Amino acid sequence: MTEAHVNDRLEQWRAAERLALTLIEGGLQRMAARTLAVFLFTDQDSVTAGEIAERLEASAGSISGAIKSLLTVGLIERLPSPGSRREHYRLRDDAWATLFTSQNTVIQAMLQAAAAGIAATADGDPAHHRLAQMHAFYEFLLGELPALLHRWHQQTG
């Protein structure tokens, strides 16, 4: 590897760490943010948890939790890896759009939690009203997203 290539890679990883700090400030958990940065900056088609742990000098457990978090929100996907005992992951092609679709299990969980809260509270209860607003917001959001994502796909398509 040439010195210029090594310097380029170092600069890329510095940029990745700066991006991770921005994501952390935006509310993402630290290790999930750093792991997402690996997916964004890797030059490989896919990476394993072990490769991420090595790159970030982090424990297997913390990487496992970060991967689970990124899988849950739909940013990354698990790939079939015939002949390999290790699971391979990659950033989804439609990662950013998936964050805002019904495929996002966090949005579904919010809807379910709001519905359960509504069922557990009486009509006149202020909590019932707040939970109904929460549920209505997420339903509205999911209803509006298809048109927004359609325009996004037209723009990038």
DSSP code per residue over 28-79: --HHHHHHHHHHHH-SSS-EEHHHHHHHHT--HHHHHHHHHHHHHTTSEEEE
pLDDT band for position 102 (50/70/90)?
low
Q: Please tell me the pTM assigned to this model.
A: 0.71
Mean per-residue pLDDT of the chain: 89
Burial string for 44-77 (b: 16+ CB within 10 Å, else e) reads eebbbbebbbebbebeeebbeebbebbeebbbbb
Q: What is the pLDDT of residue 133?
A: 97
Q: What is the pLDDT of residue 73?
A: 85
Q: What is the pLDDT of residue 148?
A: 86
Average pLDDT over residues 102-124: 85
DSSP assigned state of 88: E
Average pLDDT over residues 53-79: 94
The residue that leads in pLDDT, 142 or 50, is 50
Q: What is the pLDDT of residue 21?
A: 92
Cα–Cα distances (Å) from 91 to 46, 49, 135, in that order, read 8, 13, 30
The residue that leads in pLDDT, 107 or 148, is 148
Say yes or no to pLDDT of 103 above 70: no
